[in-house]
């Protein structure tokens, strides 16, 4: 991919000047209204005209833009590989990274990059906006400015937030714990099963106990073998064996994220369990997550979930669907050993679940 590179003349890079690489993939934040009133991507070389206060930051900023900015609804495995590769290739040259991304699939992308960037010790902050940067009441300015500040924040010369996060509407959330829950309000994301890492007000208040620790001995590795032969099956009252069997019969399917009720409950009818049992017997890995935004799967807590455990369904604990889908894709790409994958699904890779 031929990326567009823009170096903003905010500050000359010195030994004391922080540096940030902004990766613009697309999304509302980077849009502006043209003469006809339509939203179109603007030239990020002109971002200082849109947000002149960036000049006040003691930060050297470089922007790498996808050649054709994408609607986040079109994000694919290839785009995740591009994002991760850009960070990996430029890792030693910058103090932190800000990824501008559409909100619809931001939680999926942040989750996947948290797995792919093994040994990450620098901030990777995803952000975006509900309104374009040129709109009068846009949230883009606050989201971008705070993300830049977080991406360069240090204590004793060590980054405060050495992990993949989402910053949106005053909250910094762990990326693989986040979920989009609003399409018309500014508070678009929440993290029901893990506390915010920081909250911005007059100052940015970091919750240091919730943030993954800086580990200087770790070196960044790019793990970009992914396998997207997975699906999500959401249970609903009235689901039939024909629906389930048809889903499990998809050619080349390797993994299924099963969205169950409450704390991991499902129908207990014999046909339901037999359908799961047949699927697992032929090699499918089935990962159980809750349809609820909060709480966790506890297989065996109720009689209706005990059989799931018995037939070999893997508990996803308190993972979000976004974290579960991307983790399954990631692990399927890393190994062909079914039992190893099943075991690793129950172990945190990047803080995506509570054991």
Is residue 28 among the annotated active site residues? yes
Which one from 10, 25, 28, 320 is the annotated catalytic residue? 28
Question: How many whole angstroms from its chain centre is CA 348?
Answer: 15
CA torsion, ordered 249, 290, 236, 306, to nearest 10 deg:
80
Strands 59-65 vs 4-8: parallel, antiparallel or unpaired: antiparallel
Distance CA 254, CA 243 (A): 17
Q: Are 211 and 197 in contact (CB under 8 A)?
A: yes
Residues in the chain: 355
Sequence-ordered list of residues with C-beta below 8 angstroms from that of 316, at least 6 positions apart, any chain:
257, 287, 288, 289, 290, 297, 324, 345, 353
Sequence-ordered list of residues with C-beta below 8 angstroms from that of 41, at least 6 positions apart, any chain:
26, 30, 31, 32, 69
Beta bridge partners of 59: 18
Pair of tokens at residue 300: 């065996």
Pair of tokens at residue 30: 């980077």
The 10 Å CB-count burial string (b at 16+, else e) for 289-298 is: bbebeeebbb
Q: Are 151 and 96 in contact (CB under 8 A)?
A: yes
Q: Which residue reads 């506890």 in tokens?
A: 298
Q: Tell me how crowded residue 270 is: count the other CB atoms within 10 A of its CB.
A: 10
Distance CA 312, CA 346 (A): 13
Catalytic residues: 28
């Amino acid at each position: 991919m031929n990326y567009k590179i823009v170096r903003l003349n905010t500050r000359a890079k010195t030994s004391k000047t922080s540096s940030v690489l902004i990766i613009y993939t697309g999304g509302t934040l980077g849009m502006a209204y043209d003469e006809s009133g339509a939203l179109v991507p603007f030239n990020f070389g002109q971002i200082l005209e849109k947000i002149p206060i960036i000049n006040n930051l003691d930060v050297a900023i470089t922007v790498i833009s996808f050649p054709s900015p994408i609607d986040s609804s079109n994000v694919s495995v290839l785009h995740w590989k591009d994002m991760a590769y850009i960070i990996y290739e430029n890792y030693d040259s910058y103090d932190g990274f800000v990824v501008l991304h559409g909100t619809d699939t931001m939680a999926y992308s942040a989750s996947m990059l948290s797995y792919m960037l093994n040994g990450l010790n620098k901030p990777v902050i995803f952000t975006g906006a509900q309104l374009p940067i040129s709109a009068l009441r846009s949230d883009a300015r606050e989201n971008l400015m705070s993300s830049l500040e977080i991406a360069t924040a240090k204590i004793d010369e060590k980054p405060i937030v050495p992990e993949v996060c989402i910053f949106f509407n005053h909250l910094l959330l762990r990326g693989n714990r986040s979920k989009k829950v609003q399409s018309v309000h500014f508070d678009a994301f929440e993290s029901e099963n893990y506390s915010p890492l920081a909250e911005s007000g007059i100052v940015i208040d970091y919750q240091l106990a919730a943030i993954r620790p800086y580990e200087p001995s770790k070196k960044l590795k790019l793990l970009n073998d992914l396998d997207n032969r997975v699906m999500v099956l959401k249970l609903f009252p009235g689901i039939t064996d024909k629906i389930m069997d048809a889903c499990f019969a998809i050619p080349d399917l390797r993994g299924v994220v099963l969205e169950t009720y409450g704390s991991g409950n499902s129908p207990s009818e014999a046909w339901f369990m037999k359908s799961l049992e047949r699927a697992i017997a032929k090699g499918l890995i089935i990962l159980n997550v809750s349809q609820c935004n909060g709480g966790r799967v506890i297989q065996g807590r109720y009689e209706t979930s005990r059989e799931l455990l018995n037939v070999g369904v893997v508990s996803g604990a308190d993972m979000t669907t976004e974290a579960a889908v991307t983790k399954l894709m990631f692990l399927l790409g890393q190994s062909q050993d079914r039992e190893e994958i099943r075991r690793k699904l129950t172990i945190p890779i990047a803080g995506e679940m509570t054991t």
